[in-house]
Amino acid sequence: MAVIGVALVRLRDLFGVVMLSGLFTLTAASLYVVMDAVDVAFTEAAVGAGIATVLMLETLALTTGREKVTRRRSLAPFLMVVVTGAVLIYGTLDMPRYGDPGAPIHQHVAPRYIEESGREVGVPNIVTSVLASYRGYDTLGEVTVIFTATAGVLALIGRSRRTRRRKGSQTTGGDQDAR
């Protein structure tokens, strides 16, 4: 993944960048499978590697395939990245070992979910019962986020063809103004 990351930064051809970022998410998805998080891996592969790549390609078709090269090199962004990375790594030092049963996250509500979900919810997949039942509010929020995001896209660039054509016929400039 680190190799792909470096290649992403170095590459100037945006088509290659999109392909590589798809590869990056696919690698992340297989990493989740290794960590036994199948549900997350599933989502990552479908959304990250599939849909996001298609949407990025669509965007490329609308804009341009080459990155604008700036020759100016500034130190501030580099410093910011290094400091943020160092803080993140410092933060992981305190984390319990992966899969440690004594970790705080496994002590809070997780045991109750694991022990009671079979009786209370009766759905074999605990991930589903937590997602949809115990954490129903959160999932509702997520769906609302998706709805709002799509509504935002529609509001920004989603004017229907009919209104665009009508506007195009009204303005003297024709097509150019309608966009």
Partner 1 sequence: MRGNIILRVASKLLIPCILLFALYVQFHGDFGPGGGFQAGVIFGSAFILYALIVNIESARRAVPAVVSRVALALGLLLYAGVGVAGMFLGGRYLNYSVLAEVPTTGQHLGITLIELGVGITVAAAMITVFYVFAGEER
Nearer to partner 1, 4 or 126 (CB): 126
| Interaction between residue 53 and partner 1 (CB under 8 A) | no
Q: Of the candidates 70, 74, 160, 172, which one interacts with partner 1 according to CB under 8 A?
A: 160
Please pick, from the candidates 91, 102, 124, 173, the single residue that binds partner 1 as defined by CB under 8 A: 124
Residue 34 CB, shortest distance to partner 1, in Å, is 15
The string of DSSP letters for the chain reads: -HHHHHHHHH--BHHHHHHHHHHHHHHHHHHHHHTT-HHHHHHIIIIIIIIHHHHHHHHHHHS-SBPPP-----HHHHHHHHHHHHHHHHHHHTSPPTT-TTSGGGTSSHHHHHHHHHHHT--S-HHHHIIIIITHHHHHHHHHHHHHHHHHHHHHH---HHHHHHHHHHSTTTHHHH-
Q: Is 149 in the site for partner 1 (CB under 8 A)?
A: yes
Of 12, 15, 16, 58, the residue at the interface with partner 1 (CB under 8 A) is 58
* Segment near partner 1 (CB under 8 A); pick from 10-18, 45-53, 82-90, 98-106: 45-53
Measure the CA–CA gap between 169 and 179, rounded to whole angstroms.
Answer: 12
Binding window for partner 1 (CB under 8 A); candidates: 18-26, 44-52, 75-83, 90-98: 44-52
Of 11, 133, 167, 168, the one binding partner 1 (CB under 8 A) is 133
Which residue, 107 or 144, is less far from partner 1 as judged by CB?
A: 144
CA distance 36 to 130: 17
> CA neighbours within 13 Å on the CB side: how many for 169?
5
Interface contacts to partner 1, rule CB under 8 A: 38-39, 42-43, 46-47, 50-51, 54-55, 58-59, 61-62, 119-125, 127-129, 131-133, 136-137, 139-140, 142-144, 146-147, 149-151, 153-154, 157-158, 160-161
